[in-house]
Structure formats: C-alpha cells, structure tokens
Amino acid sequence: MKNIKAIIFDAYGTLFDVNSAAEKCKDKIGDKWEGFANFWRTTQLEYTWLRSLMKRHKDFWQITEDSLEKSMKVFSIDMSMKNDLLNLYKILSPYPEVKNVLENLKKKKYKLAILSNGTPALLDELVQSNHLKDLFDDLFSVESVKVYKPDSKVYDLPLKKYKIKPPEVTFLSANTWDVSGAGNFGYNSVWVNRNNAVFDNLDFKPKKEVNNLTHLLELI
C-alpha cells in the first residue's frame, strides 16, 4: 500500500473488545456470559442496519441500550445489572497491542483517526478512559450524517476533513461487512481477523488480512 496519508480504524471489535463489558460481569452472569455478549453485539448491529433501512435513526448509545434489554431478556439476566453493563460498555478494554501500534504509527506522521458508529461522547470517553486520546487526530462519528455503516456517506467523512482520496486511506476493521463497505467505497481495506473467521460473500476481498494490529506495522 503506497501513498497512504491516513490510517482509519473502526472502534468496536477492532481497537476495543466488545465482549469485555460482559466478561467483567461473568461472575454474576455465569457460564453464559460469552454467548450473551455475542448476542448483544449481533442484535446491536442488526438494529443499526434496520434503522438505517427504515430511516428511523437512533444514536448508537440508544441502540446499545435497546439491544442490551432484549439480550438480557433472552438470556434471563437480572435487569438490575443493566446499568453496570452499560457503564462498562463506555470504557471497553482495548486489545493488548493497540497502544503500541498507535504510538508507532504516530511517529510516521500519518493522520490517525477512528471512524465509528459510536456517538462523539461515547468515542471520546472510550479513548480518554484508555489513555489513547492524544494518539488520534480525529474521532469521526456517524452522528454527523445520521446513518450507519456501511452507508457511503460515513466513509466520506475523513475524505472531506483531510482533502484526500479513497486510495490514500488504509482502513482497518474486524467486521467483514465494514471492510467490504469501506473497500467498495475505494479505501485500502484491511481485515483484522482475530478469531480465524470466514469472510462474507459481498463481492469484495480485503487488500490484506491480519490477525492483530501489530501486523499493520509490516504493511505500512
């Protein structure tokens, strides 16, 4: 990948472990915590896509709460835990290599940014709580266009800010639909395949595939 000017990251599942909120409550939730966490995440994403299609936008924090309520009912988890889980979601844990990778990329003078479904307030708290704020130039949120990924209006946000073209962007996500959306928009999309998953059949293949972000340093 040559002539790259900006490196853009998805947040949830790419930089930050979306299961970490439920994992921190696993003593109370029990053995079903991981299944519950995966169901919560899947429902959350489904709600973003459905609301985009229906043109009935709610921000990501509201969707996170709505999807949590359904998930807790499905898994028979006491509703008294709801606030604890929501508060933990605001401060999800980053993956172990994240800070080191960002520090190394920062030295190379790339524009570094997050492009996420999360609200500006959520993203700000997420990077602040994990001491990563100073490593990013921008935190781009879908709230400025009121539609969720993979709508092309979302991927256009960094281009407008940086006055660059899609081939000058490397975009990283752990979500195959996000990789496909960004790649079809023209980004150099890299799939962060942490769990040895199978890529979706969406008429797009990522430029590169890595199993953690450390390998990005070998590509740039």
Tokens 């947040």 appear where? 11
Between CA 57 and CA 67 the distance in angstroms is 14
> What stretches of the chain adopt beta strand conformation (E)?
6-9, 111-116, 138-141, 169-173, 188-192, 208-210
User: Which position among 10, 17, 59, 178 bears the catalytic label?
Assistant: 10
Pairing of strands 169-173, 208-210: unpaired
CA neighbor of 184 nearest in space, from 204, 165, 201: 204
- What is the spatial distance between Cα 70 and Cα 194, in angstroms, rounded to a whole number? 27
DSSP label at residue 129:
H
End-to-end CA distance of the chain: 7
- Known active-site residue 31: no
Catalytic residues, by residue number, are: 10
